[in-house]
Structure 1
Amino acid sequence: MLIKILRRAVPPYKRAIAIVISLIVIQTIGNLYLPNLNANLINNGVITGNLNYIINSGIEMIVITLALGAISVVAVYFASRTAMGIGRDLRAMVFSKVQSFSQYDMTLFSTASLITMNTNDIQQIQLFGQVALTMMVMAPVMAVGGVIMALRENAKLSLVIVVVVPLMALVLYTMIKLVVPLFQSIQAKIDRINQVLREQITGIRVVRAFLQTETEKDRFEVANVTLTETSIKVNRIFAIAMPTLMAILNLSSVAVVWFGGHLISSGSMPVGNLVAFITYITQIFFSVMIAVFVVSLLPRAIACSERIEGVLNTTPSIQEPQNPMAPTTITKAITFEEVSFGYSGSEEPILKDISLKILGNQTTAIIGGTGSGKTTLLNLIPRFYDPTAGRVMINEVDVSLQDLETLWKEISIVPQSAFLFRGTIADNLRFGNQDASDQELYKALEIAQGLDFVRAMAGGLEAKIDQGGTNVSGGQRQRLAIARALVKTSPIYLFDDCFSALDATTDANLRAALKRELSDVTVVIVAQRVSTIMHADQIIVLDEGRVAGIGNHEELLATCQEYQQIVESQLNQGALK
């Protein structure tokens, strides 16, 4: 999975990666050459007392060291830029993919998981990318080069390497086998702790109202402790592996000095060569330590890449049509033809064989009991969901055949739960129309019955709104959401039970303003209160996912028993006359 993820993000950086690899290889070869140069300095200069050789060799070593330092700086610079670019591109890919998800697709991933993916997970891959471009290239070159150069110094003494390298490889293999599943578990537990924390922050008022503070503390403690315990297990493995590797290095160094000393005594090996051999052993160990560091990052990067690949490989359930069809006649009418819809895993469909027509330039209301399918029916119009049977048409063209962007431009929607973004009131109102003037904003606020409270706020249109609109009341939030939809100026408006937090007077004034200002557009209102929709041109009554009646208020009172029951439960007998 990690390779697949990197293949997605690497292509724009192939040239930079080639430069980094080339520089790292040159740097590593230079580092392998220096011990040999040092051996010659000892054998031919220090021991013989040749001052000119010492000076010349010293100058050569200084020049090479400075050059290698400069190469290292350039390599790390390009590696860092490449890794940061890969991280940026992956974040953009995940964000773009999530933006293409339908409401159903969003249920496949938790919000906490998606946030963790776009921050922590990509950061882990980004860090691994930078390490891989520098250390991971250096380690094998240095290990192989170190073995070759050690053999070149003395073949007999190199038998120590034959024992040391397999031992180190065994330790690394064991460590990888143990830590990979633990790192995968850590990522899942990070998701869990993020989910618990997010729920507790967003639901703090509910937690306090039901006296569940201690319970939530315990729930967070469980998530926190399980994450800590798993992290400790990983650290214990590394705590055992590192001293083991150090012990192997120290024992190998002792063996080299012991056997090397005998070779020097017998005249089979110069002193400089022994010093160089010890340096090569150290370099081999250094390459192993680099591998250990990479191993500590690799399992987590693999676990993160699997989660990200899962998002990127998800095919959105709502697809753009290959050959979009544009309506030839703009009627602003919405037609449902034998439409059924069921959520995945549900025992029976939410909507069953719905056939109806919402006429253009009229106000149509949808009413029914809780769970009757009102919001689901509304969500089929902008293709937030696709029906499992039948078709939905706007302007006599199936919405599944229309370009999504074009379709959404034709619709302004106010969702059941009014959500505002962090910024100013003006920023929120201009969300669907960035070119709207202040006068247009004031006009929309006036229709939505929000002008008075906006003018009363410090700053007016420039008054600050917190994330989610938490610094305004529920009714104010609904009115701002309605005003935002009005600023967009679309031929079709969908209001999904967005008058529920309004008092009766404000509700009546708002309905009158909408009837006056939106007389030439199609308006669909989902509502619970009869008073909100009784003056609509057409009222659709839903009961258990089926159409129980269609008509105006008077017609339904006379012919639809379900509507009569709704009215009787809300109005007194005098209001029915």
Structure 2
Amino acid sequence: MIRTLLKEVRQYKRASIATPVFMILEVLMETMIPFLMASIIDNGVNAGDMGHIYKVGGVMVVAAAFGLLAGVAGGRYGAKASTGFARNLRQAMFYKIQDFSFANIDKYSTAGLVTRLTTDVTNIQNAYQMTLRMFTRAPASLLCAMIMAFRINMRLASIYLIAVVLLGCVLFFIMNHATKYFQQAFPKYDDMNASVQENVSAIRVVKAYVREEHETSKFRKTSENIYRIFVKAECNLVYNAPLMQFTVYTCILLISWIGAKMIVADSLTTGEMMSLLTYCMNILMSLMMLSMVFVMISMSTASARRISEVLNETSDLKNPENPLREVADGSICFRHVDFAYKKESQEPVLRDINLDIRSGETIGIIGGTGSAKTSLVNLISRLYDVTAGAVLVGGRDVREYDMEVLRNQVSVVLQNNVLFSGSILDNLRWGNRYASREECEEACRLACADEFISKFPQGYDTHIEQGGSNVSGGQKQRLCIARALLKKPKVLILDDSTSAVDTATDAKIRRAFREELPETTKLIIAQRITSVQDADHIIVMDEGRIHGFGTHEELLAGNEIYREVYESQTKGGGDFDEKAGE
């Protein structure tokens, strides 16, 4: 886990190395000051030697200045290293997510990935900075102060040693207990982010049904869970400060009492006594800083584990060693294909699928909800890999192609249409970033999108809000179809992509495809039989199997499911899920 995260330090290695170096330099300068102060008191003040006071005082000023500069440099490099590390982690996770297959993405919730990119990375950033600075400074300060204290007086320095051991054991117990709660707390952020995301994305539904109170209650519960866990963790950490103060004051009292007797007995000087008290504070403050570092590390351990999960996740889909970079044509072949979303699934979603589709054909796909229509077409563009069998495009197994080449030639208009914030042209050029305005207009004409775009005051420069909230469902679908056409694919898949379009416009789109895209293989998933009845062949899906394959007339004559749905739709406008007689 640590090795995975530290790989992302990359260009900030120098800053990461410079930070502890400057922190150690600062500690060395600070350690010299009490020793020099003892010399001023014993050899300057008590001896009445002003020259010695000036001389050693000058050295103290230089040491303090160097310590100050080293501290500033350490802070500056520490901030640069930690923020850069956080940036690299976010970039690495984001790039990794872009390479995920649909199967990989299915393992994580959207809210969980957002939490990892935000809260978890911030925790790691804070912990990394604390580790570079305090985790270096505190042990170095503790070690240097202990060495100097033993050099001055071993008897009094033993008090520090005993205090450090006892306090260290107690702090370890507290940190270990608190860590368990922090590990429980951060995954709860996923639930809270999920609640917020769901509420914001569905805010129109929430307001339409006047469910603001219900959503507020849901959010309150998730935030309350986080609050309770953090309270439990902090209740353990709250013992840290009083224990530290008790140890500090106990050590000061013991040193003052024993040291005073030793001064009277002439076995200790006043300057040495002052130095020991200063080193006492250094030692115990170092322990305090170490405890803070351990708290931060405890908080970030769960975050580090969650981030490394994403970084170590390997995509289920990979390019072959020597991938094909050209798709010959739009022919599609399924050979005894089985498919399951999870390997451990006992029942496959698709079972023994055999299909032969010639290049340029128009194929309709209909079936009830859950009949695996979308699962079938997802295998063509290799959004998922088959569990058994093979899918061929252009006469070659899709696993032999470079995935970018394949997906550029197999254009999919997904069931859930998504538009991005920006102009209409910007959204269209997602299909082809180099497309000219004329090519965009031609694609919109084929998709019957030019009809409404021309009515906008700014035309193709009209701004689309995030998610396409300022256009209707039908308009959004037509823009997505136009975007897919700009790729000039050999295979075009429309996954229920005209469901929000009126029947007249739907017919225009199908006619345009038939007349102007004769060489492109077109697969149209639909609930309305009128959307597919003119297709060369129609596939009837039922419970993950092909129940029927043929023309509209052939299926009407020989396929019971198709005939019942056709009759129900022509009589009462029912959809595919409403069988006749139900």
8 Å contact from structure 1 (residues 366, 374) kept in 2: yes
My pick for the range that moved more, 343-352 or 385-394, is 343-352
Answer yes or no: is 1:107 the counterpart of 2:79. Answer: no
Distance in 1, matches of 2:131 and 2:164, equals 21
1:340 aligns with 2:330: no
CA distance in 1, matches of 2:571, 2:179: 68
For residues 489 and 185 of structure 2, the distance between their equivalents in structure 1, rounded to whole angstroms, comes to: 48
| Corresponding residue for residue 256 of structure 1 | 255
Cα distance in 1 for partners of 2:320, 2:83 equals 35
Structure 1, unpaired ranges of 5+: none
Identity of aligned residues (%): 36
Cross-structure match for 1:174: 173
Which residue pairs with 1:449 in the alignment? 448
SS of the residue aligned with 1:157? helix
Compared CA separation, residues 125 and 5, structure 1 to 2 (3 A): farther
Who is 2:510 aligned against?
A: 511
508-517 or 250-259, which deviates more: 508-517
Q: Give the aligned residue type for 1:349.
A: P
Distance across 1 between alignment mates of 2:333 and 2:297: 54
Could you give the per-residue CA deviations for residues 162-185 of structure 1, whole angstroms, max 9, x where no partner exists?
321122202211221111111111
Separation of aligned partners in 2, 1:368 and 1:235: 56
Report whether the alignment pairs 1:45 with 2:16: no
**3-state SS of the aligned residue for 1:413?**
strand
Kept in 1, the 8 Å contact 2:4–2:311? The answer is no
Aligned residue identity for 1:111: T
1:151 Cα shift? 0.7
2:5 and 2:89 in contact (8 A); partners too: no
Which residue of 1 is the match for residue 188 of structure 2? 189
- Could you tell me whether the CA contact under 8 Å between 1:363 and 1:524 is conserved in 2? yes
Task: Give yes or no for the alignment of 1:277 onto 2:276.
Answer: yes
Contact 2:373–2:525 (Cα < 8 Å) also in 1: yes
User: Over aligned residue pairs, what C-alpha RMSD do you find?
Assistant: 1.8
CA drift at 1:430: 0.7
Contact 2:93/2:311, CA 8 A, preserved across alignment: yes
Distance in 1, Cα, partners of 2:498 & 2:463: 23
Q: Deviations over 1:358-391 (max 9, x none)?
A: 2112211111222221111000001111111110
Deviations 1:404-452 (A, max 9, x none): 1121121211001101112221211111211112222222222222223
Shift of 1:215: 2.9
- Looking at structure 1, the residues matched to 158 and 366 of structure 2 have their Cα atoms a distance apart, in angstroms, of 86
Q: Secondary structure at the match of 2:486?
A: helix
Q: Which residue of 1 aligns with 2:75?
A: 76
Aligned to 1:521: 520
Map 1:112-511 onto structure 2 (within 5 A): 112-326=111-325, 330-344=328-342, 346-511=345-510
Q: Residue deviations 1:330-380, cap 9 Å, x none?
A: 122111001111232655222111111121122111112222211110000
Do the aligned residues in 1 keep the contact of 2:540 with 2:562 (CA within 8 Å)?
yes
Q: Distance in 2 between matches of 1:451 and 1:41?
A: 89
Shift of 1:209: 4.3
> What is the match of residue 20 of structure 1?
19
Cα shift at 1:544 = 2.1
Determine the C-alpha separation between the residues in 1 that align with 2:303 and 2:516.
52
| 1:331 partner SS | coil
Equivalent pair of 1:539/1:551 in contact (CA under 8 Å): yes
Q: What TM-score comes out, normalization by structure 2 length?
A: 0.94
Other structure's SS at 1:501 match:
coil
* CA deviation map 1:245-264 (0-9, x unaligned): 11111111121111111111
Preserved CA contact (<8 Å) 2:175 2:237: no
- How far did residue 206 of structure 1 move? 3.2
Structure 2: runs of 5 or more not aligned: 573-582
Question: 1:210: Cα distance to partner?
Answer: 4.5
Superposition deviation, residue 296 in structure 1: 1.8
Whichever residue aligns with residue 504 of structure 1, its letter is T
C-alpha displacement at 1:207, in angstroms?
3.4
Whole-Å separation in 2 of the counterparts to 1:542 and 1:477:
27
Kept after mapping to 1: 8 A contact 2:9/2:84:
no
Cα distance in 1, alignment partners of residues 516 and 76 from structure 2: 60
Which digits, 9 at most, give the CA deviation of each residue in 1:264-323, with x for residues without a partner?
111111111111111111111111111121122101211101111112222322222233
> What is the Cα deviation at residue 211 of structure 1?
4.9
User: What displacement does 1:78 show?
Assistant: 1.8
In structure 1, the residue corresponding to 2:22 is in which secondary structure? Answer: helix
Match status 1:58 vs 2:57 = yes
Structure 2 CA distance, aligned partners of 1:189 and 1:564? 51
Give a deviation string over 1:5-52, Cα, whole Å, max 9, x none. 333223543333222222222221111111111111111112212111
**TM-score, normalised with respect to structure 1:** 0.95
Counterpart of 1:86, as a letter, is F
Query: Within 1, Cα distance between the matches of 2:158 and 2:391?
Result: 78
* Conservation of the 8 A alpha-carbon contact between 1:363 and 1:525: yes
2:13 touches 2:81 (CA, 8 Å); kept in 1? no
Further displaced range: 304-313 or 113-122: 304-313
Read off the aligned partner of 1:224 and give its amino acid letter.
Answer: S
- Structure 2 CA distance for partners of 1:20 and 1:213, relative to 1, 3 Å: closer
1 CA distance for matches of 2:371 and 2:180? 46
Q: CA deviation at 1:460?
A: 2.3
Cα deviation for residue 458 of structure 1 reads 4.2
Greater shift, 85-94 or 564-573, is seen at 564-573
User: Structure 1 stretch 79-88 or stretch 386-395: which is displaced more?
Assistant: 79-88
* One-letter amino acid of the structure 2 residue matched with residue 316 of structure 1: S
Distance 1:444 1:177, change over 3 A: same
Structure 1 residue 549 displacement after superposition: 2.3
Q: How many Å separate the matches in 1 of 2:164 and 2:223?
A: 39
Specify the code of the residue in structure 2 equivalent to 1:485: A
Please give the alpha-carbon distance, in whole angstroms, between the structure 2 residues aligned to 1:120 and 1:516: 53
CA distance in 2, matches of 1:66, 1:92: 39
